[in-house]
Structure 1
Amino acid sequence: MWARPLVHTGEPGGEDSIMKPSHVAFALAIVAALLLLVAGPGVRAQLWPHGTGFELMRLGAYLGMGVIGLSVVLLLLPRMRRTHPRLLLASMLLAVVVVAIPWHGLREARRLPPIHDISTDTTQPPAFVAVLPLRAGAPNSAEYGGEEIAAQQRVGYPDLAPLRLDLPAEDAFEHALATARLMGWELVDADPASGRIEATDTTFWFGFKDDVVVRVRPDGDGSRIDVRSVSRVGGSDVGANAARIRAYLRRIGG
């Protein structure tokens, strides 16, 4: 008995085809997901610059949209809907996830002000000292941008404000320092005399370095804590610095 041929020469997409359209859709969905998955870690591992990482995410999103369209078309075909519905639905679901992640980031970037320097005190923001050598060559300056930045912050993050504690400044400083360590930040300097704490936080996915300075001052019978968080790269932080400050102050206050 002759062996069955590996490739069917009849109807394209038939049961014996090496690569069915449904398999193509699923393979493309996998490629789109891989582009998304490697974009950030590649930047973190210094395999490519952050601009390339963003382009990989964009390419993955476009490919994901193509997979969604292809899957919908194939599901409209009775033969495909009858023989490979689960594979096509899996392809579509995976592609939706791939598209949704960068789409959410883009939507947030458009909704929030395009700034990367956030402070609870926009009149006299805490100043960096020890971190400055680490920022040498960074695209973003550590100098505060003044009223132009402050006005955008008031619109985008109106809730950010100094934290007041019913503790002497010395005790508040120790509490602020312990909380900075709990946040997982890399401590750069802690100066009790000036009430200044400086640290660096590394983002999870892309490994971006954002610098933080905490200032603790006496305030009547208690103390006042101000926090400033600044990205080293990128025009917009998509809310990352504000979220970091909120989380830190929430932890101190709690």
Structure 2
Amino acid sequence: MRLKLAQASMALSLFLPVYFMVAALGVKFDLWSWRVGLLTLILQVGLPLFGLSLILGLVALVASLVRKPRTGWKMALIGLLIPLLGLGYAGALRQGSGDVPPIHDVTTDIADPPAFSATVMAARAAVDANPVNPMSAPMGSLEAYKGPEFSAIAAKTLGEVGRGAYPDLRPLSLPAEPSKVAAAAVEEAKAQGWTLVTTDPASGVIEATAETFWFGFEDDVAIRVRPSPTGGSIVDVRSTSRVGLSDLGANAKRIEAFLAGLEARIAAS
């Protein structure tokens, strides 16, 4: 009986990573909606399975060690370690989410952010995506942030919250002329693995869609290249998630990576 318990514990713990991967990739490949994949399969079903695996692993390990012959303890240990590692990963994610504000729309220019085209806005509307709010909008006026849990940021604007969390996210000044920078921006967007939507180097407007690996969540990116009053170019970027309240800092990291790559590309040219 103890051996069977240890085997069941290990089998369930090995099944869990596969289950979570299938739930996430099913969203990516349009087998089911993100609500089904994230809210139902992972949160409603996956988390109880995770808890069951943790308890079963602990019981199996104790049962296998409490008396001789101590058979199956290695399998039981595996059955306990896998959910413990998952618990540690979930804890790290939770801690990381507490370090960033619950926003999903950031830009380098909060006073005059790049605007999304009608094409992008139509694509967002087609999937019932998050609204694209003005950076000047007070958080408390936005429907998603009207709960008491957001009282600390209610009086701040969306732009102010983003700027407070990511103070280094600023327009990028480059010495090259706008047409050259815009062409380089197109190449850098491709290098980042984004799907280009609008490419108009002549006007300095580039739009793209970035997709996350596991769930295939899509975030829209608007890039604007303008002449600098002092010569050269000014580059601004806005990155906005289609789903989810908090992006866990993903949009800011995306903009930072893009600007760093663009700056290196111009420097090397």
- SS of the residue corresponding to residue 70 of structure 1 reads helix
User: Percent identity, aligned pairs only?
Assistant: 39
Matched-pair contact (CA < 8 Å) for 1:29–1:63: no
Note if contact 2:224-2:235 (Cα within 8 Å) is conserved in structure 1: yes
Residues 85 and 91 (structure 1 numbering): CA distance in 2 closer, same or farther, change over 3 Å?
same
Greater per-residue helix proportion: 2
What does 1:123-142 correspond to in 2, within 5 Å?
A: 123-129=111-117, 130-137=119-126, 138-142=128-132
Residue 185 of structure 1 corresponds to 194
Closer, same or farther: CA 85–218 of 1 in aligned 2, 3 Å: same
Q: Which amino acid aligns with 1:57?
A: I
1:204 aligns with 2:217: no
Q: Mean alpha-carbon deviation: is it higher for 196-205 or for 232-241?
A: 232-241
Give, in whole Å, the separation in 2 of the partners of 1:81 and 1:117. Answer: 59
Q: CA deviation at 1:152?
A: 1.4
Q: Compare CA radii of gyration and give the structure with the larger one.
A: 1
State the secondary structure of the residue aligned to 1:131.
helix
- Greater mean deviation of Cα atoms: 100-109 or 192-201: 100-109
Q: Which range moves more in the overlay, 165-174 or 207-216?
A: 165-174
**Contact 2:23/2:38 (CA < 8 Å) preserved in 1?**
yes
Task: Give the equivalent residue in structure 2 for 1:238.
Answer: 248
- Corresponding residue for residue 144 of structure 2: none
Q: 1:86 aligns with which of 74, 99, 104?
A: 74
Report the count of equivalent residues.
238
Please name the residue that 1:247 is paired with: 257
Contact 1:60 1:99 in 2 (8 A): no
Q: Distance in 1 between matches of 2:169 and 2:68?
A: 54
Structure 2 residue corresponding to 1:144, chosen from 123, 134, 138? 134
Q: Which runs of 5+ in 1 are unaligned?
A: 1-12
Are residues 1:70 and 2:60 paired?
no
| 1:213-224 mapped onto 2 (5 Å cutoff) | 213-219=222-228, 220-224=230-234
The runs of 5 or more residues in structure 2 that have no matched partner are: 138-156, 265-269
Deviation digits for residues 28-74 of structure 1, max 9, x if unmatched?
A: 21332233111211111222221222232233344333323332333
Structure 1 match to 2:30: 46
TM-score w.r.t. length of structure 1 = 0.85
Name the CA distance, whole Å, in 2 between partners of 1:194 and 1:39. Answer: 42
Q: Distance in 1 between matches of 2:42 and 2:214?
A: 12
TM-score, structure 2 length as denominator?
Answer: 0.80
Decide whether the 8 Å contact of 1:65 with 1:96 is kept in 2. Answer: no
- Corresponding letter in the other structure for 1:96: L
2:107 matched to which residue of 1?
Answer: 119
Residue in structure 2 matched with residue 106 of structure 1 by the alignment: 94
